[in-house]
C-alpha cells in the first residue's frame, strides 16, 4: 500500500477518517517522477493527513496550504512524489479510533470487518 492510498481509506465500521497507520515494514520503490500525476492528486487528498504523514515518516514539514496547478514549488512536488508514490507499507496495521485493527499483509490492506475474528 502506497502512502497515497492511505489517504483514501476510512474505517469500514465507524466511517471515521483518517485511520491511524502503524507500519512494521516499509519499502521504498523507485517510480518515475510524474508531475502531472501529483498535481492531479492533490485536490483529491486530505492535506492535513498528508502533512501528518510527512511528519510521521520523517519527510519534514510541508507547507500549510497545498500546492496548486502552476506552482513553482518543485521541491514540495518531488517530496510528495517520494512520500506518496515511492513509500510502500508492506506490513502493518491501520487502526480505527474505536481500537479496531485492519492488518496490511504483503502490501494489501484487509479492510473486511467479517475477517477480523480469523486474524
Partner 1 sequence: MNKTSCLELNDVYPPSEDTFLLVDAVTADKLFMQSYFQPFPSLVVEMGVGSGTVMKQVSSCYADNYAILYLATDIQYAALHSFSSGTTGHILEFLQSDLFTSLRPTDDWMCIFNPPYVATDEEEYMRGQTEQSDVATWAGGIQGRQLIDRFCEQLCEATANSHRVLLYLLLVDTNRPTEVLQFLRDKGNFVTVQLAHRRVGWESIRVYRCCKVSHSH
Q: Specify the residue, 79 or 111, whose C-beta has the smaller distance to partner 1.
A: 111
Write down the least CB distance from residue 17 to partner 1, Å: 5
Q: What are 45-54's contacts with CB under 8 Å, separation 24+?
A: 45/4, 45/7, 46/7, 46/17, 46/18, 49/6, 49/7, 49/18, 50/7, 50/80, 50/83, 50/84, 52/18, 53/3, 53/6, 53/7, 53/21, 53/83, 54/79, 54/83
**Minimum distance from residue 20 beta carbon to partner 1 (Å):** 14
CB nearer to partner 1: give 42 or 62.
Answer: 42
**SS3 assignment, position 11:** coil
**Which C-beta is closer to partner 1: that of 55 or that of 112?**
112
Nearest approach, Cβ of residue 27 and partner 1 (Å): 14
- Alpha carbons 60 and 62: distance in angstroms, whole number: 7
Chain residues in the site for partner 1 (CB under 8 A): 1-2, 4-5, 8-12, 17, 31, 34, 36-37, 40-41, 43-44, 46, 85, 102, 105-115
CB of residue 11 to partner 1, shortest distance in Å? 7
Q: Which is nearer to partner 1, 36 or 75 (CB)?
A: 36
Amino acid at each position: 500500500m502506497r502512502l497515497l492510498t492511505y489517504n483514501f481509506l476510512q474505517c469500514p465500521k465507524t466511517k471515521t477518517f483518517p485511520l491511524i497507520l502503524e507500519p512494521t515494514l516499509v519499502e521504498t520503490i523507485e517510480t518515475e517522477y510524474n508531475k502531472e500525476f501529483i498535481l492531479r492528486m492533490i485536490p483529491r487528498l486530505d492535506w492535513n493527513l498528508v502533512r501528518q504523514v510527512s511528519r510521521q515518516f520523517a519527510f519534514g514539514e510541508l507547507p500549510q496550504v497545498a500546492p496548486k496547478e502552476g506552482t513553482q514549488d518543485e521541491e514540495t512536488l518531488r517530496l510528495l512524489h517520494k512520500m506518496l508514490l515511492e513509500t510502500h507499507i508492506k506490513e502493518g496495521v491501520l487502526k480505527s479510533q474505536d481500537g479496531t485493527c485492519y492488518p496490511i499483509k504483503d502490501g494489501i490492506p484487509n479492510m473486511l470487518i467479517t475477517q477480523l475474528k480469523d486474524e
